[in-house]
Chain A
Amino acid sequence: MIPELGHFALALAVAFAFAQGIVPLWGAYRRDARLMNAAPAIAIGQLMALVVSYACLVWSALVDDFSVLNIAENSHSLKPLLYKITGTWGDHEGSTLLWCLILAGCGGAIALFGRKLPGSLRARVIGVLGATACGFELFALTASDPFTRVWPPPLDGRDMNPLLQDPGLAFHPPILYVGYVGFAVPFAFAVAALLEGRVDAAWGRWVRPWALGAWCFLTGGIALGSWWAYYELGWGGYWFWDPVENASLLPWLTGTALLHSAIVVEKREALKTWTVLLAIGTFSLSLSGTFLVRSGILNSVHSFANDPARGVFILVLLGLVIGGSLLLFAFRAPAMTGSGLFAPISREGALVLNNILLCSITAVVLTGTTYPLFADLLLNTKLSVGAPFFNATVFPLAIPVFAAMALGPMLSWKRAALWPAFRRLWWALLVALAAEMFVVLKMHALPAMAFGCAAWIICGALADVVDRARLFRVPLHDSFGRLRGMPRAAFGTTIGHAGLGVTIAGIAGMSLAVQSIVLVKPGETVHLAGYDWTLEGVRDAAGSNYSARVATIDVRRNGKLVTVLEPSLRTFPVQQMTTTEAAIETNGLRDLYAVIGGEREGSAVLRLHDNPLAPWIWFGALIMATGGMISLADRRLRIGAPARRAVPAIAARA
């Protein structure tokens, strides 16, 4: 009964989405206030239908209803409760339904939080979201229905891939999807603006919080996926330039460009074409990523059950959404003329450079990821484009971004001079050079340069705050006053930029990672990175649906016990798979990392790592997302008007 209810709710959602797509857009076209004002209610209706639908899927998983095919294929009665719930989004059908739920959630969010938007814009935004959602929900209903039944129901399910039965991977999809799908809102804003025929400063101000929110989640989702790979896959790697990873990086890059470009639209009414194109492009990249992963075209470890037939459906959907919006762009964009003129050396100029560089990196990653496909189709040659290519091409483009990041916020709008901006950063440069000197003898050239850049970025971000507070130039009391009056967005910028610096420092630090693969008997000690690692023993353990062999490793430094690591090797009988669980101990500055491989004649194969600055990689991402959240909390963004300045003397450099 419940699965049928879920199926019906999904169908109802399609109906709502269809109405949501047509009614508000027609109302806006006809300037019919009643139709336009119906939009929020329809959006909430769609959201509620999908909440019910998804809840039915979760319920079916919780009660082990194996007559539902999706549950039979992906769940098991012995699977832990947490993974029964999170497993609903661990397969193609369930994750598609989650995607639809979040897309409906976007419409609902505009309905609830977008009350201050002008009626026609709000109606159009909700309308575009509805039309997009209708397409995806139709796909879910017809080609990816999670509620199909199987009869007779099997006695027990086929269990879920053990790799997915893990806290990190359990939460990675929803956070990532809020990021991916969240960019549908800026997309809808862009299409709505093109339909209205107007892109102005107000539009820039309204679109930015939504882009920022989606960006925070996308940053978190990507970081979570990377962290999971680090502790689950067992060899300390965290980014492989795998096609699916690249598919998540592409919208992140253009989303970052969008965030920054929208500032210029808001402040200076310039870069309108760029910003609208970025808004359309970011969501288009999310959608294309989804398509490429689920159709089986991409050769990746993240294989969902690949189905070219489904791929065609999604491709047609993409064609309508992306093609339609780009067609609208081509015809309406000429009407968007910017009024803000600016000199090449200015804050706008720096943001244009930012756009150019980020879009170039996006183009390179996109080319690299899809090149093997095109080469096979058009040239009939088989190529691989792997990590060595991306590392060689992306870093040269990224270094100028890092350099400009600290300088950009120091430049004034419209026309700036480089020298005064540098003068405010003199100490940041010193610290960066000192950091570089510190590591250049230990690291290779590229990581050393990255480490220097990281220091430059972090100090540059701090220099911005220091400068605004006129620290050490006015009495300390005044500085605090200025800091208190500073808009939250300024703190958000500093923290966000500093976060990236922390992540880059972590990546540079990992280049110094040392590892040792050894075959040891209990009682033997290995010396690595100044620590003594002693295998105390290997014992049996069991979980609800697996059996494990757990090793106990004492790590000592100068005789004192630092930590006890317990890596394990888990065997899942139903799926006949083994997974490794690395044991990681972090002190914030480095990770001690141990993995157990097989055992032979009483000895165990151990893989031991010392990873300097590894935790900074994900800590930095957390800081970036926090910075974004702080920016979101800025009153100016929420009420759509500049906040009263507490200290009127602060020049409007913001």
Chain B
Amino acid sequence: MQAGGSQIEMMEPLARAYEHSVPEHPIDGGLFGPGSMVWRVHRDRSFPLAAIRSLMVQALHPLAMAGVAQHSTWQRDPFGRLAATAGYVLTVTYGDTVAAERAAARVRAVHTHVRGTDPVTGLAYRAEDPELLLWVHAGMVDSIAEIVQRYGRSLDAAGADRYVAEMARFAEILGVPASRLPTSVAALRDYLEAVELRQLTPAASEAIAVVLDPPGLDAPTRELWHDLGQVAVGTLPGWARSMYGFDAPPAESMEREPVRQLIGALDFAFESLPGVLEARERIALRTRA
């Protein structure tokens, strides 16, 4: 059909990830269980925003960024790469224990091959390094907690802390020792700000430029995406925003209502893709049972 038809295709890998990650006949409740805060938070519709913010925070560690830049095909297929990550998060969350552990084992196996030297700092890195894994984990968990608290379904401070604590398990299965994992929002932020090696490398600039302005969008979709990116920038911690050199967006564009409308419009399109609504219903029914 017209351009309108092609835009939605970019979300299709994401929809398939959703569909396949939420099993119809799970053997058990998985690593967290239907009553967990993780289940509640990870079905939130503000997730695309949390994803953009996560990537922006995670990219500011030169070694984490180098690993992605040197070993991933994301630049050729940014939406496919995003879908793969989302599929992993969703499988570990909603899949049964076997599926979650299998997914984690696959990621660990891939990580064994991801090693090299960062051209900017000259430091060697390996993806199995618990410190790098912790950074990536913290960037994600902090972003999800922040975004869902601001723009998602009601999540109070205690709920956010519980979420962070529950998510420790998420990092443990990839090889981060439990003792290193923050169990509250405050501890998570303290950790992020204490990491010495934080800087904007050319690889990160390049990556984030693509995240904020993905290729191949038509003009109106691009504007919608830019709006979303601007909100993500507005939610970054101060240190991260200054590293990128972004100004704080105007306060009115950060208000809950218009941002929720923006998220809702995107989610309307996303939910219309085959499998998404059904997957969400499976989650809802299990949470209520």
Do A and B make up one complex? no
